[in-house]
Structure 1
């Protein structure tokens, strides 16, 4: 069951990218999402004491022109519990050798997709542990023919 109270902050300078990530999270059952487009907005939302954000999903493009250690900022900010930092630059396909090897592994930078967000949310918001069927005392009595 999805914890609908999780607070999520999406930070990307590209409106379409913010919308895409928000839509994926909505499909996963998360709706308390604040999309922002600048690092100043993040600082405003995380500077004064309030309820922390359970997850910050942020593009490195927001701090590219600033002298900010994004990992340190996320780690040291008490109002950010978890962070997903991604590189939003266009993924470039590296030059491929000729002829192509039988197996090829590529690492591309880019925004998080549906499967990655699904796995991330499963770690942040794990499903509740089920310990088998619980029999209620009144039901046990009813099955033995006693009603009380």
Structure 2
């Protein structure tokens, strides 16, 4: 059974993308998901949040060269795990510490399931992809 108390933050400028990713988490049993649409909102919630976030998913395009997302998320005690998607600059390793990086435009159910196996060890279906339409 998934840990329903995990705090998940999704940051993407596009409403449809945020909604789609949130629904993937809902399919896996996670409902404490907060979507944000701007870099300013992301920074405020991470920096000034009362409790650390268990997982932050962020579209790399949101940083727009203004912020080193990888460095910010990797060194931040308020972020336990992070997933940067839509990253088009290849020098960053796909997994480094608590941060995973993907060139995919959007994470899919398989990548979310794999990600959650690291974030939530109680996840019952690690390695199994469930297709729900």
Band of TM-score, shorter chain = 0.7 to 0.9
TM-score, normalised to structure 2's length? 0.76
Gaps of 5+ in 2: 89-101, 125-133
Unpaired segments ≥5 residues, structure 1: 90-106, 130-148
Tell me the alpha carbon deviations over residues 17-38 of structure 1, each in whole angstroms, 9 at most, x when there is no partner.
0000000000100000100001
| Structure 1, 79-88 or 35-44: larger mean CA deviation | 79-88
Determine the structure 2 residue equivalent to 1:3: 3
Q: For 2:16 and 2:27, locate their aligned partners in 1 and report how far apart those are by CA, in whole Å.
A: 17
Q: Residue 125 of structure 1: which of 120, 123, 132 is its match?
A: 120
Q: What is residue 22 of structure 2 aligned with on the other side?
A: 22
Larger CA Rg, structure 1 vs 2 = 1
Aligned residue in 1 for 2:40 = 40
Matches within 5 A, 1:38-117: 38-48=38-48, 50-64=50-64, 66-87=65-86, 109-117=104-112
Number of aligned residue pairs: give it.
111
Q: Give a deviation string over 1:13-63, Cα, whole Å, max 9, x none.
A: 010000000000001000001000011001111222511100000001111
Give RMSD over aligned pairs.
2.1
Residues in 1 aligned to 2:113 and 2:122: alpha-carbon distance in whole angstroms: 12
Question: Are the equivalent residues in 2 in contact too, given 1:88–1:111 (CA < 8 A)?
Answer: no
Counterpart contact for 2:8–2:53, Cα < 8 Å: yes
- Shift >6 Å, 4+ stretches: none
TM-score between both structures, scaled by the size of structure 1: 0.69
CA offset digits 1:79-128 (Å, max 9, x no partner): 11100001178xxxxxxxxxxxxxxxxx9632100111011111210128
Q: Which has the higher strand share?
A: 2
Matched residue SS, 1:22 = helix
